[in-house]
Amino acid sequence: MTLQGKVALVTGAGSGIGRATALRLAQDGATVVALGHSQDSADDVAEEIRGAGGTVLPVAADVADAAAVREVYERVERELGRLDVVVANAGVNGVWAPLEELEPQEWESTIATNLTGTFLTVRYAVPLLVRQGGAVVVVASINGTRTFSNSGASAYATSKAGQVAFARMVAVELGPRGVRVNAVCPGAIDTEIDDNTEQRGTEDLGVAAEYPDGQIPLTGERSGSSQQVADVIAFLASDAASHVSGTEVFVDGGQSLIA
């Protein structure tokens, strides 16, 4: 699954799944554009990539800011001359709260980063991707696609469902131009995203469920790792997946089948 000679952009590269993916794609030979929300986070993962012998261009942008995203791609074209892979990973859990307590600006903030950010990340990549063909991987979730038991996560789940619909639509549109588009839907993954989640009044929402043997058939209570998700992304980004487009891969140990 070599990516030698290719350029791959990863959003949300400063931590979690994005960081693991940036490292994995660099290991596979790609020049990685590590896009972080801050320059410090991008520089941090860039240092690790370089330490392992990889090549990286660290950049910073808010993926919900169209002008900032466009400027990133202008820099990629100017400095690297091509783009082969885009991993739209940047996202937030946002605020989880009862529907009547979720403020409109909280809804809008989650949608802006997760869904609009994905649109902008892919939209401004198209002119570069279609030159030689390439691959897009959207990082969605089991929430809003197979799982609907996280009551209070209405904004988050809606944004993730929207990402999958977007990936399917764009796969059909860009397929004739040589660009494959797929999504990965992680379940419980050991990342820092939960540290930035605000939950209000969700304790008694929805229908209670108990899983005495754990809610992940493959591992029981043990969450998956960012590296496991990155491995699937690396496959979808590579020529090993050359006839795979318009689909989603659930990286959840079977969790979404029962949870």
The residues near 82 (Cβ < 8 Å, ≥ 6 apart) are 6, 7, 128, 131, 132
Catalytic residue among 73, 124, 156, 211: 156
Cα separation values, 14 from 90, 165, 186, Å: 9, 26, 18
Find tokens 């939950």 and name the residue.
199
For residues 117 and 198, what is the distance between their CA atoms, to the nearest angstrom?
A: 20
Q: SS3 of 131, please? A: helix
Here the tokens at position 209 are 């469920």
- Active-site residue 73, yes or no? no
Here the tokens at position 117 are 């950010």
For residues 76 and 70, what is the distance between their CA atoms, to the nearest angstrom?
A: 10
The residues near 220 (Cβ < 8 Å, ≥ 6 apart) are 213, 214
253 with 143: CB under 8 angstroms? no
For residues 174 and 36, what is the distance between their CA atoms, to the nearest angstrom?
A: 26
Q: Which are the catalytic amino acids?
A: 156
